[in-house]
Structure 1
Amino acid sequence: MRKEFKIFILAMFLMGCAIVNKAQPTKKGDDIVLSPADESSPAKGQIKTFWKNIKKLEEMPKEKYNTMGSYVQAAQTAINNIKMKDKNYNTASLEAELKKWQGQHEKQQTVIVDQRHMLVETSGSLSRLFDRSNDKALKYRGNKPEEFEKCNKEIAEYKNDLAQFLAMEKDPRVMKDSASTIKSITIRYFSNLDEEIKGYEENLKFYTLVNSLKGYIQEITIHETYIDAARQVYPNNTTFANGYKKMKELTSKISKINLETFTKENKTRLLKEARMPAAITSDPAIEQEFKIAFGKLGFAGEKIIKVNLTKHDWLVNRNEWTSIIENRTRKAAVAVKKADGSCQIYVMEIGQQYLGGSSYGASETVRFSDYPILCENVK
C-alpha cells in the first residue's frame, strides 16, 4: 500500500511539472518573465528565446507578414535547443504554439507566391500586348491571300489574348504604377495619331491594285487593334479613348469602300493627274547615260521618247569612315511609249563606280519607280 502511494505521489509530481511547463510566461515591456519552473530549467535561456520570437510574431503588423519566416524558424531552433539542454522539459505547449504560427506562415507563403505569379503574369501580359518587338507582335504579312489569312488569324489571336488579360486577376501594383507603360504606349501609338490618320486617308488615294489596297487596310487595322487594346486596358485614359474614337471613324469609312470600284477610280484619276517631272537642265551626254542604263533593264517593247534631268550635277558619294570616293549618282525622269501605245514614266537614279583619278565606270540603274501617264502629258 505504501509503495502504491509513493507511485501516486510521483505521478502527481510529474503531472504538476508538465502543467507548470505549459504555463505561458508573462511579458513585461520588451522582456519575457518566465514561470519559476521555467526559470529553474537548464534551458531557461532557450525557453526565453522561444517566447521572444513568439512575441515578435504576435506584435507583427499584417503588412510585415512576409518576413515572419525568420521568427518561425528561430522559434523552432529554440525548441530543438531546449530538448538538447533539458531532456526532461515538456515542449508540448511550445510546439502547439509554434504550430499555430507555422500554419500562418504557410498561408502567407502561398499568398506571396500567388502575388509574385500575379505580378509576373500581369507584367508579361502587358509586354506581350503592347511591345512591337516580341514574337507575338502584329505585323503586315503581304498581299497574297494566304498572307491576308495569316494576318487576320494573328489579329484574332491578339484579341483573344486581350480578352483573357481583361478577365484575369491583375496585380494592382502593376496597374497602378504604370506611368512608364502608358508613356510608352502613348509615344508608340498616339503621339502623332492625327497626322497618321491624315496620312492614311491621303495614301488610300494612290492604290490602284485591289490586293495592295487590302494590304494597306490591314496595316491600318493593326494600328487600330493596338489602340483599341490600350483603350480597354486603361479605360480612364482620355487620350486613349479619344484616339480610338478617331481611328474608329477612319476604319468605319474604309469598311464601306468597294475595293474594285475604289481602285479603278484611283487609277483613272491618277492617270489624268500624272505629270512628268520637269527638266532643270539639259545635257545630251548625260541623257544618253540614262538611255543606256534603261536599256539594260530589259523592258522589251518600250521606247524612250524623252529624258528630263532632275538634278544639275552628279552627287559624289564618299565612304562614311574614310571619306574615299565610292561612286556618283544622278537622277532623271524617263518617258517611254509601250507596245500598246500607252506611256509610262520611270523616275530613275543611275550610278557609276569610282575607278580612281577622275574616272568612273559604266552607268547602272541604282533604283527606279514608275507610273502611267497620258502621252499628251509627256513634256
Structure 2
Amino acid sequence: MTMGMHRFEKQYNSAKIALWKSSLTKEDKESIELFLKDCKTRGVKYARLVKLCRTLIKMGSILETTYEKARMKAIKELVHHYVDGDYSEWARHDIKVIIKQYYAWLNKGKYPNHVAWINTTIKKQDKKLIYDGELLTRDEIDKAIEVCDHPRNKALLAVLAESGARIGEVGNLTIRQINLDPNGCVVTVQGKTGSRRLRLVTATPHLVTWLNNHPDRKNPYAPVWMNIGCKNYHREMGYGGIRKVIQNAFKKAEIKKRCNPHIFRHTRASQLAHYLTEFQMNTFFGWVQGSDMPALYVHISGKDLDEHMLKINGLKHSERPIYSKPKNRICPRCKQINGPDALYCAKCAEIVDPALALKIQMQTTEKPMQKVKTPFLEWLQKDPEMRDVLKRKADEFRGGDLKI
C-alpha cells in the first residue's frame, strides 16, 4: 500500500505520538484520540487527521483549562489569540472550523453555546487574491521545462503546468492512470471530489519521452515519478523532491516568482477562466459544483472587465486567441506524438522534422544525379567547340569568374 505523496499516514502516527508526549491532561489526550478515530472511521483522509491532531494539541496548550471545562471566556480568548496573531485568513478560518467541529463531537453533534457564536465565513474582501504579475507566463513555463536536464523533470513540470492539478493528484499518479491516444493523452487523477479525467496535449511529448525511459515502465502500478538519484533510488518521489525539482528549474531559468507546486494550479486556472464556464472549471479542477473558486479566477483574469473597458473606449478588440504554440509533430510511421522541436520520433526514430526530411531527400536525390553529371561534363569539355560554349555561358551566368 502506497503511503501517498506526503507520507501522511506516517505523519499521522507521529502526530499521535506527539499528542501523548504533550502537556495536555490525560482526559484531553484520550478524548482527542477518540475524536481522531471517529473521524478516520467516517473516511477523513490522513492529511486532514494530521491537521486536526496538531491543531488540537496547539490549541490545548493555549487554553488555561481542559477542553471539557473550557467555557465562553476561555474559548473567546482562544479565538482572539488566532484572530490577532500573524495568521492568514484561511488559517484562521480552518482553526475556527476545527474548534466548532471538535466541540460538536464532544456535545453529541450539537454546537454548545460557548462555540456556536464563532463565525467561520470568510468575507469576500478578506479573500486574498494572487496578483496577475505573480502568475507564470507561457514563456516562463516553457523556459523552466527547457532548462531541466532530465526527461522526468521536463515531464513533471509540463504535466503540472497543463493539468493544473493538485500536487497530490499529480504526485500519486501510476503508469496505468495514463492513457495515450492520437490527440495526446488522458490522465485520470484521484482528488478531493473523486476521480476525474484530464486531457493533456502539449505535455504529452515530454510525458511519453519519460515513460519510454521509465525504469519500471512495464509495471502498470509503478509510480510515474520515481527517484533517480542515490537517495531512495527508484522509489516514489515525495513532496520535498518534487518541490526541489521546481526550485532548481526556476533558479536555472532565472524566474523570480513563487516557487511551489501550487503556482502552476493558480496559473492554469487563471488561463482557463477566459474560456471555460464555471461548471467546466469545477469539473476540470476538481471543485464541487457551486464552488466560488471559478469566480475567483475570473476576477483575477479580468475576463469581463477588460473586454468591456476596451469597448467603452472604442478600442479595436478581437476575441482573445486560445493559447497556441507550434504543433506537436506526429510520427508518420508509428503515429507517436512528439514535441514541436523534435527532429526524430522518440519511439521509432523516424524523422518528424519537415525541414530535416526535405534536406535528406534532396541530398539523396543529388548523389545519383552527380554521378551522371560529372562524366557528361568531362565528355563535353573534350570538344573544343563545346568547351568554348560552356565557358561563354558560364561567363554570362557568373560574371566571368568561373574558370574552366
TM-score band w.r.t. shorter chain: under 0.3
Normalized per residue, the structure richer in strand is 1
Q: Output the TM-score relative to the length of structure 1.
A: 0.20
The structure whose RCO (Cα within 8 Å, separation 6+) is larger is: 2
Which protein has the larger Cα radius of gyration, Structure 1 or Structure 2? 1
